[in-house]
Amino acid sequence: MEQRRSKQLFNRAQQLIPGGVNSPVRAFRAVGRQPFFVERAQGPWLFDADGNRYLDYVCSWGPGILGHAHPRVVEAVQRACTGGLSFGAPTAGEVELAERISACVPDVEMMRLVSSGTEAVMSAVRVARGFTGRDKIIKFSGNYHGHSDGLLVKAGSGLMTQSVPDSAGVPAGYAVCTLTAVYNDTESVRRLMEENAGQVAAVVVEPVAANMGVVPPKPGFLAFLRQITQQTGALLIFDEVITGFRLALGGASEYTGVHADLYTFGKIVGGGMPLAAYGGRRDVMACVAPLGAVYQAGTLSGNPVAVTAGIETLKILMEDKGIYERIDRRAERLEAAFCRKGLTVNRAGSLLSAFFTPDWGEREGSVTNYEEACQCDREAFAAYFNRMLERGIYVAPSQFEAMFVSDAHEDELIERTCEAIGKSVS
Contacts to ligand HOZ by CB under 6 A: 23, 25-26, 61, 144, 157, 211, 401
CB-closest chain residue to ligand HOZ: 23
**8 Å CB contact between 349 and 406:** no
- The active-site residue, picked from 48, 54, 56, 144, is 144
Query: Measured from the CB atom, is 334 or 402 closer to ligand HOZ?
Result: 402
* Residue 74 Cβ vs ligand HOZ, minimum distance, rounded to whole Å: 20
Question: 114, 298 in Cβ contact below 8 A?
Answer: yes
144 labelled catalytic: yes
Residue 321 CB, shortest distance to ligand HOZ, in Å, is 27
Minimum distance, C-beta of residue 370 to ligand HOZ, in the bound complex (Å): 14
List 48, 107, 185, 239, catalytic entry: 239
Shortest distance, position 291 Cβ to ligand HOZ, whole Å: 31
- Which residue's CB is nearer to ligand HOZ, number 98 or number 309? 309
Provide the strand spans (E) within 57-177: 110-114, 136-140
Nearer to ligand HOZ, 161 or 211 (CB): 211
**Is 240 or 401 the residue whose CB approaches ligand HOZ more closely?**
401
Could you say which of 267, 370, 377, 394 is catalytic?
267
Sign for the CA dihedral angle at 248, 155, 341, 414 comes to: positive
Q: How far is the CB of 157 from ligand HOZ (least distance, A)?
A: 4
Q: How far is the CB of 349 from ligand HOZ (least distance, A)?
A: 17
Nearer to ligand HOZ, 38 or 287 (CB): 38
- Backbone dihedral angles phi then psi of residue 84, each to the nearest 5 degrees: 115, 145
* Cα 59 to Cα 56, 62, 76, 257, 300, distances in angstroms: 6, 5, 20, 27, 24
Give the nearer residue to ligand HOZ in terms of CB position, either 147 or 330: 147
The answer to whether 239 is a known catalytic residue is yes
DSSP state of 352: E
**Pairing between strand 276-280 and 262-265?**
antiparallel
Tell the burial category of 351 from Cβ atoms under 10 Å away from its Cβ (0-12, 13-18, 19+).
buried
Query: What are the strands of the beta sheet with 235-240, ordered from one edge?
Result: 110-114, 276-280, 262-265, 235-240, 200-205, 136-140, 178-181
Which residues have CB under 8 Å from 262's CB, separation 6+?
A: 124, 127, 128, 202, 235, 236, 237, 238, 278, 279, 280, 281, 284, 285
- 110-114 and 276-280: which strand pairing? antiparallel
Residue type, 175: A
Residue numbers annotated as active site? 144, 239, 267
